[in-house]
Amino acid sequence: MTTLKKLFDMSGSIAIVTGGGTHLGAAISESLCELGATVIVASRNLNNCKEMSAQLTSAGLKAYALQCDATIESDVNSLIKSVIETHGKLDVFVCNAGGSTPDNDFPSSSTQAFRDTISMNIDTTFMCAQAAAKVMIKQGHGKIITIGSVHGVMGTDKRLYKGLNHKRSSIGYFAAKGGVINLTKALAAELGEHGITVNCISPGQIPKPTVKKEMINRMVNRQPIGKMGKPHDLKGAAALFASPAGNWITGQNLIVDGGWTIF
């Protein structure tokens, strides 16, 4: 009998999480470690990675820090090469690195900022997935997880921000995350025959501590569940897609948003 406990057991697995040192990436790194995986916490800020890996190892988990700028293809290739040389395989790659270039609201947006945001999300996801896939195809197995957003499946309600000094997501971010979601489906179609699954997690509103209380209150009022998300709310979705429990799931976009998108 294949027990649920066994399905979520990642003992012996090797996983990379880009942008894994802070916020959502940190929660994902923690999730995979708790299931027994050895996690390489990677980002361009090595100090953040070292701090996160130290927290994990102090809890008796297995984690290492490596520097990698996911916007630079040679950095991504070097990261994977280092992991393979050290561990001999790569079971999971979480393409978490991304972000948004500050921009004015549309139609006063900058074409360059739009392009930069597209690149920061779609190009990095493509490069990370491609580098990971080359290794995973040789192995005959692997799991690639991308990070979308509720902004990838809907527009924004400008009324939510009216009268507040809060910068809402740029128009480029909506386009970028929509692209990541459909890129995920295309990658899943390409890689399924090689035993590789590709799935996307699309978080809802999980604000950083710097977001003002009045903005939080407005967002809470729009949440059917009546509370904001926390980084740890993504741990279950990451565990599903990264572990054997998700072996028969591919090309999916799992929205984890407290119901934000049901209206």
Q: pLDDT at position 166, please?
A: 85
Nearest to 59 by CA among 39, 33, 28: 33
Q: pLDDT at position 39, please?
A: 98
Cα dist from 138 to 6, 10, 83, 91, 154, whole Å: 25, 20, 15, 12, 37
Sequential DSSP letters for 22-62: SHHHHHHHHHHHHTT-EEEEEES-HHHHHHHHHHHHHTT-E
Q: pLDDT at position 167, please?
A: 84
Look up residue 253 and give its two tokens.
């976009």
Q: Report the CATH number of the 11-262 domain.
A: 3.40.50.720
**Spatial distance between the Cα atoms of 207 and 217, rounded to a whole number of angstroms:** 12
Between CA 137 and CA 75, with CA 133 as vertex, the angle to 5 degrees is: 135
Q: pLDDT at position 80, please?
A: 98
Q: pLDDT at position 96, please?
A: 98
**End-to-end C-alpha distance for the chain, whole angstroms:** 41
Q: What pTM was computed for the model?
A: 0.97
Q: pLDDT at position 165, please?
A: 83
pLDDT tens for the 263 residues of the chain, in order: 899 999 999 999 999 999 999 999 999 999 999 999 999 999 999 999 999 999 999 999 999 999 999 999 999 999 999 999 999 999 999 999 999 999 999 999 999 999 999 999 999 999 999 999 999 999 999 999 999 999 999 998 999 988 888 888 999 999 999 999 999 999 999 999 999 999 999 999 999 888 999 999 999 999 999 999 999 999 999 999 999 999 999 999 999 999 999 98
Pinpoint the alpha helices (H) of the chain.
4-7, 23-34, 46-58, 73-87, 111-118, 124-139, 171-191, 213-222, 235-242
Instruction: Tell me which residue has tokens 């491609």.
Output: 130
